[in-house]
Amino acid sequence: MGQDHHGHDHGHDHTPASKEERMENARRVCQQHGERFTPLREHIFGLLIEADGPIKAYDLLDLLRPEHGSPKPPTVYRALEFFTRLGLVHRVEALNAYITCDHMHDGHSAEFFICETCDRVQERHAHDHSECIPKGFVIKRSVIEHYGSCVDCTAAAA
């Protein structure tokens, strides 16, 4: 277990992928799905990685470089939807923000622990809740979010 260099506790043994590894993984996932990792998508994905936490679509829009033709909000939302559909990005519902998947996993839902004091978001693999799913129900997407205090904010308040 342990924490990475950003102080994020990931609850399992491997460290999160580097920016280069995440970019390469995104290229590979796009290729596997027969999709193109266009320069604009690559730029947006890079900004998501660099954000190192949840970022709102409009904040991404402000960071986009003019050489990409000053993309409009629908362009950014389409890219975010594209990455979410491929499992490369998660939407943190309550924050209305997006975060890159910390771990290169296949077929697992993410579980988020959101500190209400500092807004830090920690990602872990969601536990298997398949025994709780009603028979015949087909899940398209799951978002599991827990709210409270991270270890640092809890210690600071003590």
pLDDT, tens digit, 9 for 90 and up, residues 63-75? 886 766 777 888 8
Tell me, what CATH number does 27's domain have? 1.10.10.10
129 and 96 inside one domain: no
131 is in which domain, residue-wise? 110-157
Q: For the chain, what is the mean pLDDT?
A: 80
If one counts the domains in the chain, the total is: 2
Tell me, what CATH number does 149's domain have? 3.30.1490
pLDDT, tens digit, 9 for 90 and up, residues 116-127? 888 888 877 766
Distance set, CA 86 to CA 11, 89, 90, 143, 151 (Å): 23, 8, 10, 15, 31
**Strand order in 144-148's β-sheet?**
121-125, 110-115, 144-148
What is the percent of the chain where pLDDT is above 70?
A: 77
**Cβ contact 120:52 at 8 Å:** no
Residues comprising the chain, all counted: 158
Mean pLDDT of 53-63: 89
93 and 27 inside one domain: yes
Domain finish residue from 51, 69, 100 = 100
Q: What does pTM read for this prediction?
A: 0.70
